[in-house]
Chain A
Amino acid sequence: MEERIILSVTQVNLYIKEKLENDVFMSNVTVKGEISNIKIHSSGHIYMSLKDEKGVIRAVMFRGNASKLTFKPDNGMKVVASGRISVYERDGNYQLYIDSMKQEGIGDLHIAFEKLKIQLSEEGLFDPKYKKPLPKYPKKVGVVTAPTGAAIRDIINVLTRRFSYSDVLLYPVLVQGENSAESIVSAIEWFNEKRAADVLIIGRGGGSIEDLWSFNEEIVARAIFKSEIPIVSAVGHEIDFTISDFVSDLRAPTPSAAAELVVPDERELISKFDNVLKRIKLCSSKILDNKRLNLKFYAEKNVLTNPESMINNQKIYLDSLYKSFENSISKIAEAKKKELSVLVSKLDGLSPLGTLSRGFSVTKDEKGNVLRSVKQVKKGDLLKVTLTDGEINTRVEE
């Protein structure tokens, strides 16, 4: 047997490792495949396999890089991973050390999302004028979601805690994968056809954009728009926005928030009733007080307490009227008297008697005619001269 160099296992692994790490191509590769056997260690490192139809490669993503992921990797997810190929000496395995990883086809989904959003928006499906108000006190809340998982549990918890008056009816649907959009559509249509609820919550818990995709489907959007029952959409977490959110009557950030939006808090209502009761009592006693006050006002009026005083008052009034009547009558009489004496004195001035008193006399012939000229008499005529205090009979001498 020839002498040969004998290598240790470690030496072989190290050699291969160096070979791979010095390979320009292998030290910087991008690989696409489907995740399987994923294990997220408590340290934050992620161990998994990437596979395609024919083969598998082990892969690891250390905590530092894993913390930068924008999605939660899971089995079955198609990804594109970049990193280097190297050897894990302990197991003698080569594996992909992943620096960064993204979901395959996500770019396409984003484009489809934006395109549909613009199209439906232009058609007016998101228009606020189509948004229906939610009933204040729904008798029945319809829920369209998966029968298992956190979403339905949260919704039922909130509905039972807040408002036991509302019945709940779950229409179980697929919320991801094949036929999920169709099953959501038939649930919405069923509720409308049967008028089986006053308000609908449709939604699901969080997940990747692919998981939420059925809520971005056009048929779901159109079914929501057509629904005559108001719909609250609650898909994923607060940060996730879907087409369903835009077209529904109200968007809730999470399924439990949706439940809080559709029903009032019954404890608040009951305390409101207490308040209403207080208001009714207060108003009624106020009204009573008012009536009492009115009654007192009238009761204290003289007519009721002392009717005689009313008559006396009238008598006194009558007396005063009479007095003032008398007064004014005598005043008028006096004024007339004065007026009369003024007139009389004026008359005096005009009377011939007045003139006589000043020394003039009136001469008349025998027949009593007043003489105005000497031509009216001849010698021997008898004349009568009237003075202020008597008459003289005289005869014309010349």
Chain B
Amino acid sequence: MAGKENFESNLKELEEVVKALESGEVSLDEMLSLFEKGIKLTKSCTTLLENAEQKINVLVKNNEGGLSEQPFAPLGE
């Protein structure tokens, strides 16, 4: 999942964008590209969260004597 790698770096970039914009010391061109970038990053972070497919796995012994993952659902209520 490529998104997983991006989430945190996206957030970091987003923080920088906001910081630069809040300082106010940017040219018009810079402002426009920061604005565009900010909108894009927020959207992609939100989408990453909303579309995340959570895997819940348990480790089980396999035939080779190692461990392999398989989906897990806790038993009972």
Query: Which residue numbers of A lie inside 8 Å of B, CB to CB?
Result: 136-137, 139, 147-148, 152-153, 156, 159-160, 164-172, 190, 266, 269-270, 273, 276-277, 279-281, 283-284, 286-288, 290-291
CB-defined contacts of A164 to chain B, threshold 8 Å: 49, 52-54
List 16 interface pairs A-B (beta carbons < 8 Å), by A numbering: A159-B54, A167-B55, A167-B56, A168-B55, A168-B57, A169-B57, A169-B59, A169-B69, A190-B67, A269-B49, A270-B46, A276-B42, A277-B42, A279-B21, A280-B42, A291-B28
CB-defined contacts of A156 to chain B, threshold 8 Å: 56, 72, 74
CB-defined contacts of A160 to chain B, threshold 8 Å: 54, 56
Query: Which residue numbers of B lie inside 8 Å of A, CB to CB?
Result: 4, 7-8, 11, 14, 17-18, 21-22, 24, 26, 28, 31, 34-35, 38-39, 42, 45-46, 48-50, 52-59, 67, 69, 72, 74-77
Question: Which chain A residue shows the least CB distance to B58?
Answer: A170
Tell me, rounded to whole Å, the shortest Cβ–Cβ distance linking B23 to chain A: 9
Q: Which of B11, B22, B59 contacts A170 (CB 8 A)?
A: B59
Question: Which chain B residue shows the least CB distance to A287?
Answer: B31
CB-defined contacts of A136 to chain B, threshold 8 Å: 8
B74 touches A153 (CB 8 A): yes
A270 touches B50 (CB 8 A): yes
CB-defined contacts of B22 to chain A, threshold 8 Å: 279, 283
A136 to B15, CA, bound (A): 15
In the A-B complex, the 5 residue pairs with the closest CB atoms:
A283-B21, A280-B38, A164-B54, A165-B52, A153-B74
A-B contacts besides A148-B75, A152-B74, A266-B49, 10 pairs, CB < 8 Å = A136-B8, A164-B52, A165-B48, A165-B52, A167-B57, A168-B57, A169-B57, A169-B69, A276-B38, A287-B24
Question: Which chain A residue shows the least CB distance to B32?
Answer: A284
B26 touches A287 (CB 8 A): yes
B21 touches A287 (CB 8 A): yes
Question: Which chain B residue shows the least CB distance to A279?
Answer: B18
A147 to B8, CA, bound (A): 31
A136 to B67, CA, bound (A): 28
CB-defined contacts of B34 to chain A, threshold 8 Å: 280, 284
Residue of A156, A164, A167, A287 contacting most chain B CB atoms (<10 Å): A287
B38 touches A270 (CB 8 A): no
A118 to B58, CA, bound (A): 36
Q: Which of B18, B42, B76 contacts A283 (CB 8 A)?
A: B18
B39 touches A280 (CB 8 A): yes
Question: Which chain A residue shows the least CB distance to B23?
Answer: A283
A168 touches B24 (CB 8 A): no
Tell me, rounded to whole Å, the shortest Cβ–Cβ distance linking A283 to chain B: 4
A159 to B74, CA, bound (A): 13
CB-defined contacts of B35 to chain A, threshold 8 Å: 280-281, 284
Tell me, rounded to whole Å, the shortest Cβ–Cβ distance linking A340 to chain B: 68
Question: Which chain A residue shows the least CB distance to B8?
Answer: A137
A23 to B67, CA, bound (A): 63
CB-defined contacts of B54 to chain A, threshold 8 Å: 159-160, 164-168
A269 to B52, CA, bound (A): 14
CB-defined contacts of B55 to chain A, threshold 8 Å: 167-168
CB-defined contacts of B57 to chain A, threshold 8 Å: 167-170
CB-defined contacts of B77 to chain A, threshold 8 Å: 153
B59 touches A270 (CB 8 A): no
CB-defined contacts of B28 to chain A, threshold 8 Å: 287-288, 291
Question: Which chain A residue shows the least CB distance to B69?
Answer: A169
A286 touches B75 (CB 8 A): no
Question: Which chain A residue shows the least CB distance to B75?
Answer: A148
A167 to B55, CA, bound (A): 5
CB-defined contacts of A152 to chain B, threshold 8 Å: 74
Question: Which chain B residue shows the least CB distance to A165?
Answer: B52
